Every structure is written in structure tokens, then in C-alpha cells.
Homo-oligomer: A and B are copies of this chain.
Amino acid sequence: MPALDKFTEYIDTHAESFIKRLSEAVAIKSISSDARRREDVIAMGNWLDGELKKLDVETKLVDLGTQVMQGQTLQLPPAILGRLGSDPKKKTVLIYGHYDVQPALLSDGWNSDPFTLTVDEATGRLYGRGSTDDKGPILGWLNVIEAHRSLKLDLPVNLRFCFEGMEENGSEGLDELIQSEVAKGQDGWFNGVDCVCISDNYWLNTRQPALTYGLRGITYFSINITGPGQDLHSGAFGRTVHEPMTDLVKLMSKLVDHDGKILIPGVDEMVPPPDEEELKLYTAIDYSIADIEHAAGGKIAISSNKEAVLMGRMRYPSLSIHGIEGAFSEVGAKTVIPAKVGGKFSIRLVPPQTPENVNPLVISYLEAEFAKLNSKNKLQVEYIHGGKPWVTNPKHWNFEAAKKAIQTVFNVTPDYTREGGSIPVTLTFAESLGVNVLLLPMGRADDGAHSTNEKLDRSNFIEGSKLLGLYLHEVAAI
């Protein structure tokens, strides 16, 4: 039997033990945004470190220091750097993943305990917090290494690992760690890395494997309007003063049209229209209006044209209004005139947009529109945070290797996708290492990462583990 057939057979025959290892990982409540669970996040880091060591991966737990959160000074969970193989004749692949998870409570609407991996035999779904985001994909890499060790197959590439425990809570300390390791050159853990592979996103639908070559950036603002010295009673003050909320809703109504067009002059215009060849990319994607409406949970697609919807997510900027700070937001009927309100909105950015070139357009537009209101209130446009978009070349050998592996495992050509959101570490790796970064998703569009009843399909976990292994072999064969 050829070596790769032995590998895929091993993955199949050891599926139950892989699922058992995943259930051990899911059972550790590594919620990075909850101060009460910080010890569990650290325990999860130690568990993962132990699993890596069992597979002879050389590791280093990096102390990232402390943070102040929810009024407490907390130890940051360690980053785990790992190394397996140093053959100068082999390519070196750097793998990123995160071992922390989003919060989850049974009472949020889960059908089973979120921290007990629950197998639905009928559907083949593995339910549990972190199953798909991102414990399943991380363990996929461990499955690959275990199979090679057990079968005494030589790994075709050198591996480097960078695992963190703060991804769901701002990746505190990670950028600095990566940059400092890169700066160490030959003495750093990332020395000689030829490409990066991140498995922390999802297929575009529930049917078709995907390769992801782009992410949108973001610029996030608060439109702050002040006037009264304190909250006022609408009975006593209604129609006697300029009310900040009146001004705010007028400004917020001028940001975006119902069809998604951004009304801030110059923002949409920065993005060139797709050419014929690019349009074909979207036509080729296995996607329908039913997919978006299923995912959104409502018949509210912005267009009946599939390509328009896909481009709205992948290659155009978008503007969303998130809410208002300082106004009445409870159940009930309070008759308040809020004194100080902040309208929150963000723009998802695509190349060539950056916060640096978009923000001045946003600020000057809002100031000009506010001036038209003839209000005696005060406007301050506050930039809260931002990040650049990322797009790479999907014809790079890193992507070609993954494409061939998908063809072998799934017998289909992958969808080439760009994600609407951002995975900031992608840009950090791309810019600091100067190598190609591949996003190679394991899970499906309906996995419900960050939501209730998060799941990973058994087939995605098992075939996905095969895919990760074959991808490494294809990288070596390039």
C-alpha cells in the first residue's frame, strides 16, 4: 500500500481516538474573555503542550505577562511555540491556531452541555464549544503527526507551531511575540519558514471545501454628540433645546443605503469594479441566495443576484450600524433626552482601502453633514480601532498544494473565497515574515462558531485531518 494510502487509512481507523482527544480538549473551559475562567485557559495551554510533547514536538511556553480585565490583574495564557524537524532540504510550514474559546452556557440555548463533546450519531455532528473554533483544527494537525509517527512515515516538511490562548479576546501580546521572534532571525522559532497555514475559518457553504485568500479590514467609529449638561426630562425640555439624539439619527441615516451602498463620498469609489476574469471567480463559487438567507435566518438578501451578494461580502466594503452608547436601551419606556450619545458604526475595508485613507473621508463627511443640521450641539467623530485588509495571490504554490490535496481527499476543486471579516494575525504573519499565508478551513458555514450549539461535522474533522496531511505532502512535492 502506498505511504499516503496508509496515512489516510490510519486517520480513518483511528477516528474514535481522535474524537476522544477532541472531547478532552472541549471539556476544558478555556474562555479567554471571562476572568473566572483564566485558570482553565492556562490549563488548556498546558494540556496542548503536553499533547505536543507526547508527539516529540519541541515546545516553548511563552509568558506574555499580565493584563487588567474586569477589574483584575490576570496572567495571560501562554503562547506555545513548537518545532518538529529541521531538515534543510525540506520546506518549513508554520501553523497557527488558538486554544481559547468563546463563552457558552447551557442556558444560552444549547441542546447539550457546551463543554461535553456530544456526538449525534444520526447526523455525524460533534457538538461542543471549540469543536470547530479552533480546537478541532488544531487537533487535526496533531492527528497528522500522530499518524506519521505511528506509521513511521517521514514528515515531508519541517513544522513550526504558533498557538495562542487569547484569540477570542484581542490576541493580547501576540503581534509583539511574532515580531520579536521574526527579529531574532536565525535564533528565532520562525527561522526559515517558507509559508504559513491557518485553519480558523469556514467553508462558504455546507458542501464544498474552500481556500481563502482575502480578508476585509475594518475601521470603527463612534459619532459622539453632546449638548445638555445632564440627561433631561422630555416633558420639561421637549421642543426647547437641540436634542443630541435628533442630530445623531440624522447623521446615522446618511451613512449607508438599504442596498449597501456607502453614502460617504469616495469610499465605495476607491474600489475598482471587477473585471471579467474576477467576475468568473464568483460565478464559479458553489453558492446560492438560499445559502445566505439560511445563514442569516431570514429572507433578507441584499440582492437576488448571487454574484452581487458574494462580492458584497468578499470584495466590496460594507458599512454596518451597531448601536448607540448613552441612550435609553432597556426594556420599557423612559422619557429621557440623553445628554451624551455615541453612535457606533464600522466600515469593512478592502484593498486599496486602509483606515489611513478612509478615515479622513469619514470624518470630513460627518462634519459637513453635521454643519448642515444647524444644531447647537457638539460633534466629535471618534476613531475607535481599525485594521488593514489582506489579499494574497491564490495561485501561489502554497494554495496550489492545498488545492491538489482537496482534489485528492474530496474529489472536487475548492471554492476560492475571501472572508468578510478579519483574522488580524494573518496580516501580521504576511507582513512580518514576507511569505504566503494560506487560510485552509476545516469546518462548514453552519458550524455556529461563537453561537449556540457549535459543532464540527465528524466528516470535516476526519477528512479535514487527511487534508492537512496531504497538504503537507503537496507542499513538499511542489
Contact = CB atoms under 8 A, between A and B. Distances in A.
Contacts of A301: 240-241, 376
Interface in A219-247: 220, 226-230, 232-243, 245-247
A319 to B, nearest CB: 7
A474 interface: no
A420 B238 contact: yes
A421 B236 contact: yes
Nearest to A334: B322
A260 interface: yes
Interface string A317-339: 11111111101111111111111
Nearest to A221: B333
Given A228-B300, A258-B374, A243 B313 contact: no
A133 to B, nearest CB: 12
Nearest to A242: B300
Question: Which 4 pairs, one residue from A and one from B, show the smallest C-beta to C-beta distance?
Answer: A229-B297, A235-B421, A238-B318, A323-B327
Contacts of A385: 333
A229 B330 contact: no
Interface string A282-301: 00000000001001111111
Given A247-B258, A348-B235, A242 B302 contact: yes
A356 B452 CA distance: 43
A235 B329 CA distance: 24
A233 to B, nearest CB: 6
A171 interface: no
B296 A232 contact: yes
A139 interface: no
A333 B344 contact: yes
B246 A321 contact: yes
Contacts of A318: 234, 238-240
Interface in A256-300: 256-260, 292, 295-300
A253 B249 contact: yes
Contact of A322 (B216, B300, B312, B338): B338
A302 B253 contact: no
Contact of A220 (B325, B333, B348): B333
19 contacts: A227-B296, A230-B297, A230-B451, A234-B420, A235-B420, A236-B295, A237-B420, A238-B320, A239-B319, A241-B298, A242-B300, A245-B320, A249-B252, A249-B253, A298-B376, A301-B376, A323-B329, A324-B327, A334-B344
A450 B334 CA distance: 13
Given A220-B335, A322-B328, A328-B323, A236 B313 contact: yes
A179 interface: no
Nearest to A421: B235
A455 to B, nearest CB: 16
A291 to B, nearest CB: 10
Contacts of A62: none
